[in-house]
A and B are shown apart, each in its own frame.
Chain A
Amino acid sequence: MIPGDLKYTKSHEWAKIEGDTAVVGITDFAQHQLGDITFVDLPAVGANVTEGKELGSIESVKAASDLYSPVTGEVVAVNGDLEATPELINQEPYGRGWLIKVKITSAPANLLSAGEYEAVAASDH
């Protein structure tokens, strides 16, 4: 159930890397843990993000989590739909619930494959 063509972090983010751009989001496991998402705090276009460092936070009714960037680079797009409909993250965490797009400036060092992430998610449960 975990998309094989994506890369993952231990903190439950995913990255879809196409050339020098990465689309970033949170995994199905993460959205399930959080429950109904009510708000996402994301960086602005033009901001810099660093692999493993906080890029923002995500809130649900009962929980709040920091978001950590899977890649290093410059934010080139932010999902504007999330302000009005944050529930897209619950409904389509890998699709319309994407968070940001990043132009990668240095190769990511710590990404996990789908299989490695599956093990992480299983043990976190």
Chain B
Amino acid sequence: MPYIPHTPEEVREMLESVGVSSVEELFADIPQTLRPASFDLPPGMTEMAVRGRLEALAAKNRIDFVSFLGAGFYDHYVPAAVDALVMRGEFYTAYTPYQAEASQGTLQATFEYQTAVCRLFGMDVANASVYDGGTAIYEALMMAVRHTKRRKALICETVSPIYRAMLATFTEKLGLTLTTVPHARGLTDFTAFADALDSQCAAVVVASPNFFGSIQDYTALFAKAKSLGALSIASAYPVMQSVLATPRSMGADICVAEGQSLGLPLSFGGPYLGIMTCTKELVRQMPGRIVGRTADGNGRTGYVLTLQAREQHIRRQKATSNICSNQALCALRVLIHLCLLGDEGLRRQALHSMEKAHYAAQRLSALPGVRLLNDAPFANEFTILLPGTALESCTNLMRWQYVPGFPLTRYYPELDNALVVCCTEKHRLADIDTLADMIGALQ
């Protein structure tokens, strides 16, 4: 049997040692009435056969199309050394570092990850990560609710609709009042925010760049929130953070992000990485695992999981969160990726992406009937309005193996002619020209 090493002789020896005559005796506590009604699974397969089956399935996926899909998940280049290092068995077959002396690799790496993301986002404290960017927004909101002891929050409609849907599900039973502040042509409407903000608000939540790709200055909004005792939460795009002003510099208290763009494969939805960073005043509200530096009895520096008193295994129903695992291996990938690229590498990745995106925006908005949703600054992602519906344009272009972007129909039904277009350093100018020609030909 695969992965089960016991020989019949060894099984006999073990049964004898236990004092039973058959393995079935060990299951005597399970009455016949509880035995399975069926267990119709296929017979086991050899490794060769399973690989063949899965290779055939992988081949049924088409990845050879030219895609301008982003909308929160980005195809940036990842150096080969990232894979090589995380594939070391000492990293990926390790357990959660509860026995710190046997886990200094994982613990120090997590400490370094916390440091790296704090530097990237200009914040003081980070946790060891949560599941993904959407969970991170939810957990940030709960930090604000606990810290301010208030139960209202304002969420900008320009925050990813996918994440806002998650937020609604997670907070459904918590008796909170979440108000979505409508966007104005893909931008945060500061007047609407100011009208809705009051001293009952625990937090304001925005994204920068936002789901449409637009970038705005939130300094005044964050200052107003602060003056009313509310926290400011911003969701950011890590690669672009290398060139864009940090939410911290605008006055944010908590900055979260989806870490996928920093070295994680797209992989059809996961695993991803929820990055959470905050100011040091909020550290005790931070959920999840956190690694801290300390020393052993001989003065040697070491790292441990700390501030665990907040966590579920101690506080149970009063925990800051129910979260148990983090995405340790994904956080390690992100750390290694950041260390390989450095400031300059990340900046170049961002700039190449931006150059290509701006070229694309120029070419596309020059087409008759096509215009940009707004004229706000953008980095590597922008939204265009098409003459026909976005879904139609997609369907048409997909016949030629081009995906022009993400149609907003499902999440912003009133914008059914809008497409979010993203470029990374991997795109070729020739492909962008082809895209423009194809969209032009649609009229």
Binding site for B on A (CB under 8 A): 38-39, 41, 59-64, 66
Contact = CB atoms under 8 A, between A and B. Distances in A.
B318 A60 contact: no
Nearest to B315: A64
A64 B314 contact: yes
Contacts of B315: 64
Contact of B308 (A41, A62, A66): A62
A38 B309 CA distance: 10
B314 A63 contact: yes
16 contacts: A39-B284, A39-B309, A41-B284, A59-B309, A59-B310, A60-B309, A61-B309, A62-B308, A63-B309, A63-B314, A64-B309, A64-B310, A64-B314, A64-B315, A64-B318, A66-B318
Contacts of A38: 309
A61 B284 contact: no
Contacts of B309: 38-39, 59-64
A64 B319 CA distance: 10
Contacts of A39: 284, 309
**How many residues of B sit at the interface, in one of the four size bands?**
under 10
A62 to B, nearest CB: 7
Interface string B127-141: 000000000000000
A59 B311 CA distance: 11
Nearest first, the 4 closest Cβ-Cβ pairs linking A and B are: A64-B309, A59-B309, A64-B315, A64-B314
Interface in B103-157: none
A91 to B, nearest CB: 20
A63 B310 CA distance: 8
Contacts of A64: 309-310, 314-315, 318
Interface of B: 284, 308-310, 314-315, 318
A121 to B, nearest CB: 22
Contacts of B310: 59, 64
Contacts of A63: 309, 314
A61 B314 CA distance: 10
B314 A62 contact: yes
B123 to A, nearest CB: 21
B158 to A, nearest CB: 35
B308 A61 contact: yes
Most buried by B among A59, A62, A66: A59
Most buried by A among B309, B314, B315: B309
Nearest to B320: A64
Contacts of B314: 62-64
A66 B309 CA distance: 12
Nearest to A34: B309
A17 to B, nearest CB: 29
A54 B318 CA distance: 13
A59 B320 CA distance: 13
Contacts of B284: 39, 41
Nearest to A64: B309
Contacts of A59: 309-310
A60 B314 CA distance: 11
Contacts of A62: 308-309, 314
Contacts of A61: 308-309
B285 to A, nearest CB: 11
Nearest to B319: A64
A70 B280 CA distance: 32
A59 B283 CA distance: 14
Nearest to A59: B309
Given A61-B308, A64-B315, A66-B318, 7 more contacts: A39-B309, A41-B284, A59-B310, A61-B309, A62-B308, A62-B314, A63-B309
Nearest to B313: A62
B98 to A, nearest CB: 12
A64 B312 CA distance: 11
Nearest to A66: B318
